[in-house]
Amino acid sequence: MQNMNLLQQFIYYFQQNGSYVFSQFVRHFLISAYGVLFAAVIGIPIGIMISRRKKIASWVIGAANVIQTVPSLAMLSILMLALGLGVNTVIVTVFLYSLLPILSNTYTGMRQVDDVALDVGKGMGMTKFQRLYLIELPLSISVIMAGVRNALVVAIGITAIGSFVGAGGLGDIIIRGTNATNGTAIILVGALPTAFMAIFVDWLLGIVERRMDPASKGKR
Amino acid sequence: MQRKTKFFISLIGLVFTTFLFSGCSFALPGLSTNSDENTISIAGGASTESQITGGLVKGMIEHYTDKKVNVINNLGTTTVIHQAMMNQDVSISSIRYTGTDLTGTLKLDPEKDPGKAFTIVKKAFEKRYDQTWFPSYGFANTYTFMVTKETAKKYNLKKISDLKKVADQLTAGVDTSWMNREGDGYKAFSEEYGVDFKKVYPMQIGLVYDAVHAGKMDVVLGYSTDGRIASYDLVMLEDDMKFFPPYDASIVASNTILKKNPELKAIFKKLEGTISTKEMQKLNYEVDNNLLEPDIVATKFLEEHHYFEKGDEK
């Protein structure tokens, strides 16, 4: 292998270990996605709730802010004490880090909805529920989705560190590369798909966001 | 507007069902986690060798049972792996060495006889931790002296005691930590074998193989399963006075998991004595030099041997 240059090694590695890299890629993505999914399921309703009650809002967002300040490696270690090794610890970590962007974006999104539009809805005889689904959410969806995108990109980075608590994923390949005597190619094989995943997911969610945004409907 | 609302509600519904579906047991679709009843967790460790054996155990369990296997890699030391087993984060260690666990985990005196060491460790683990040691894979990762084929021929070296007559003409490269170690370090070795090299160079363990191959050293001390031994065609000298403590490699499993899955015992027994030190060198070489993933190497090895389906294929 010594007579190959880096690019050849890189390609050779992919040829030989393609199935393994792919399975780790999927695993990596699932860990990140589940964490963000749970954060969205919990964060968006809470964000909607606190947009109605300004007093609680500063508290809730403040708490999410505090979580965000903890370094990710420290967070993983702390959670590991309670949850043990493995995937769950990383998912919970991703969940905690995703809360703030999703929460605060939902909050901002809901607040920036024009009061006039809401009044019109009321005047048309819409119920509270209808106003939420037909006016507020469609108008704020692009801001909320921006939060989810942000969270998912950060999550992919955190999951790479998650290898240290035995969660697997592409971080495993990176760590193995750092341990190997001639591991530059292996490190790249782990690192490049991680970066690619972040960019791809961001792009994909960007499309979803534009689809869901009523403002862009006319332009299509 | 109508279509958008429908889409939106179904999206939320989807999110919630996913959440409910997975939230209760915390076993997420597509991910094997260690809190799932149907999943067996294995500790893989950080070294090449431990990750290969992790792949072997995983492959065997997946081949013979319909359980899911979750390998937790990158656990740095035996202490961490032991801790993970005690916390029940994992139920199986893919590789443990008798010598390491005897003095490290059990804090007992070193024992030089491999058979005795194994018996002591097996009994102590059964009693103290309720864990079972399975018979060795067939290889030991111990310290061993090695020379190039030419040197071996020139001085007619087969055993370490053969070095005695010629040691004053030879330079040796050894692991830095071994150099000053009490008990089984250079001083004790020198006394036991009566071997005193012309000059001894302490160096990092990873460098000794290249040093002897390049002719910079005549004799080096390294790990017996390193892949470079096979690739450089080095000759390992037999430890005829049994100076170095044995580091036989075995699977260790908690009795809880064995009771729950009685079939595991027979599966692990199939691996007994299947990998010689030479074979392990080859497997390590595949990973360290040929850019193969440990997991892939393990699968290949198992497929070559048909998962040891016939007992006589050892």
Local confidence pLDDT in tens for the 220 residues of chain A: 667 788 888 898 888 899 999 999 999 999 999 999 999 999 999 999 999 888 889 899 999 999 899 999 999 988 888 888 888 899 999 999 999 999 999 999 999 998 899 999 999 999 888 889 888 998 999 899 999 999 999 999 999 999 888 888 999 999 888 877 677 888 999 999 999 999 999 999 999 888 887 776 655 4
Is the CB of residue B39 less than 8 Å away from at least one CB of chain A? no
pLDDT of B13 over the 90 cut: no
Which ipTM score applies to this complex?
0.77
pLDDT of B191 over the 80 cut: yes
Q: How far apart are CA B58 and CA B82, in angstroms?
A: 19
- Cβ <8 Å between A168 and B289: no
* Least-confidence region, from A98-102, A158-162, B102-106, B151-155: B102-106
Q: How far apart are CA B60 and CA A210, in angstroms?
A: 48
Is the CB of residue B46 less than 8 Å away from at least one CB of chain A? yes
- Cβ <8 Å between B73 and A85: no
Chain A residues 88-107 with CB within 8 Å of chain B: 88, 91
Name the strand (E) or helix (H) holding B39: strand B39-45
SS3 state at A136: helix
pTM: 0.81
Comparing alpha-carbon positions, the chain B residue that sits nearest to A44 is B12
Q: In one letter, which amino acid is B147?
A: V
> Which residues neighbour B245 within 8 Å (Cβ) at sequence distance 6 or greater?
B99, B102, B103, B110, B111, B112, B117, B142, B184
- Cβ <8 Å between A40 and B9: no
- Cβ <8 Å between B34 and A86: yes
pLDDT of A71 reads: 92
pLDDT more than 90, % of chain B: 35
pLDDT of B21 over the 50 cut: no
Q: Which of A7, A87, A92, A213 to mutate to test the interface with B (most CBs of B within 10 A)?
A: A87
Q: Which of B52, B150, B59 is nearest to B95 (CA)?
A: B52
* Least-confidence region, from B205-209, B233-237, B299-303: B205-209
Comparing alpha-carbon positions, the chain A residue that sits nearest to B27 is A88
| Mean pLDDT over the full length of chain B | 84
Position of tokens 């804090």? B107
Asked if A148 and A38 count as a contact pair (C-beta separation under 8 A), the reply is no
Asked if A129 and A163 count as a contact pair (C-beta separation under 8 A), the reply is no
Chain B residues 203-262 with CB within 8 Å of chain A: 206
